[in-house]
């Protein structure tokens, strides 16, 4: 059973890995023995994460060609050009009333959450295929959202549409890359503490409102998201691809 979840020595890139869910995943996989590289758009956040996690951190905006190239360079420098696991977590959100929702809210969110995810994944395919050729499947885990599975309570139109696109893109990539030994899955988190949910959780009433909307009556924890991620990137998940796994305390599964 220990071997079933063993990821010791696996090389992992976590985009947006300096805070929130990305930081939870990065730290959890590192603690399980993986060699982790994280990315962030902010240089200071990379420096702090590198010191805290004891792992390399690459400043990179993955919505740009320059950012994608920086991550690719980091993989070659730190891992010798072979990559076992890519966790596409980097993302942004935008909220505005329907009648006032701006074009910029679409360009920014889709550019990072969908286009950037796609272009980074395709840029790293040679590294992932190289790893898969070593006898075990490489993994891509895309971080989606319950907001891509159900109608959100917030007016985040481009975000929910982008996360739904991430889920479908996950299935499409999984179908194409299965023959290459690259497994592609997504996790759709529910309510977790993060910068995106900080405003809503700032007051006791806001936190209670969110918790009461979850059948399990609590927010997600680091163990919840790390457990799901470790399953998908370990031998335990070697027969799973093209799946969108809700980790949401029952929000989608229980029909709330």
Catalytically annotated residue among 157, 159, 231, 239: 159
Considering only CA atoms, which of 53, 65, 67, 63 is closest in space to residue 22? Answer: 53
Considering only CA atoms, which of 52, 42, 127 is closest in space to residue 86? Answer: 127
Q: How far apart are CA 213 and CA 191, in angstroms?
A: 9
CB 41 within 8 A of CB 59: yes
What is the rounded end-to-end Cα distance, in angstroms, of the chain?
35
159 is catalytic: yes
Using DSSP, state whether 255 is helix, strand or coil.
Answer: coil
Spatial neighbors of 179 by CB under 8 A, at least 6 apart, are none
Spatial neighbors of 1 by CB under 8 A, at least 6 apart, are none
Give, as one character, the DSSP assignment of residue 76. H
CB 215 within 8 A of CB 186: no
Active site residues: 159
């Amino acid at each position: 059973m220990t071997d079933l979840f063993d990821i010791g020595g696996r090389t992992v890139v976590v985009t947006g890995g300096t805070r929130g869910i990305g930081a939870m995943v990065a730290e959890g996989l590192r603690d399980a023995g993986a060699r982790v590289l994280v990315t962030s758009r902010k240089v200071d956040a990379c420096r702090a994460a590198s010191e805290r996690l004891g792992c390399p951190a690459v400043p990179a905006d993955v919505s740009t060609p320059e950012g994608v190239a920086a991550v690719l360079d980091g993989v070659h420098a730190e891992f010798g050009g072979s990559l076992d696991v890519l966790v596409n977590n980097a993302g942004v959100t935008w909220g505005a009333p329907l009648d006032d929702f701006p074009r910029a809210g679409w360009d920014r969110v889709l550019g990072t959450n969908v286009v950037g995810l796609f272009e980074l994944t395709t840029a790293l395919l040679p590294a992932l295929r190289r790893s898969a050729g070593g006898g075990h499947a490489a993994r891509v885990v895309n971080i989606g959202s319950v907001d891509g599975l159900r109608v959100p309570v917030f007016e985040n139109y481009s975000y929910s549409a982008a996360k739904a696109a991430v889920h479908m893109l996950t299935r499409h990539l999984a179908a194409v890359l299965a023959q290459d030994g690259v497994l592609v899955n997504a996790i759709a988190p529910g309510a977790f503490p993060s910068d995106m949910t900080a405003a809503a959780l700032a007051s006791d009433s806001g936190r209670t409102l969110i918790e009461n909307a979850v059948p399990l009556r609590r927010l997600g924890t680091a163990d919840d998201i790390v457990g799901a991620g470790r399953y998908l990137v370990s031998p335990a998940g070697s027969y799973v691809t093209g799946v969108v796994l809700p980790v949401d305390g029952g929000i989608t599964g229980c029909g709330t």
